[in-house]
Amino acid sequence: MPTMTGNAEQVIIKRPPSYADAQLFFLETKKFRELMMMYNCAIREVRTKLEVLNDELSMTQKRNPIESISTRIKEPRSIVQKLIRKGSEVTIESVQREIKDVAGVRVICMFMDDIYKIADMLQRQDDVTVISVKDYIKNPKSSGYRSYHMIIEIPVFFSDRKEQMMVEIQIRTIAMDFWASLEHEMKYKQQIPNEEQVSVQLRQCSYDIADVERRMLEIRNSLPEDEEYY
Name the residues annotated as catalytic: 168
Yes or no: say if 89 and 26 are a contact pair by the CB < 8 Å rule.
no
Q: How many CB atoms lie within 10 A of CB 25?
A: 20
- Helix 30-60 with 112-123: angle, nearest 10 deg: 120
Contacts of 74 (CB under 8 A, 6+ apart): 82, 99, 101, 102, 103, 104
- Strand duo 162-173 + 103-109: pairing: parallel
Angle at 87 between CA 84 and CA 89, to 5 degrees: 70
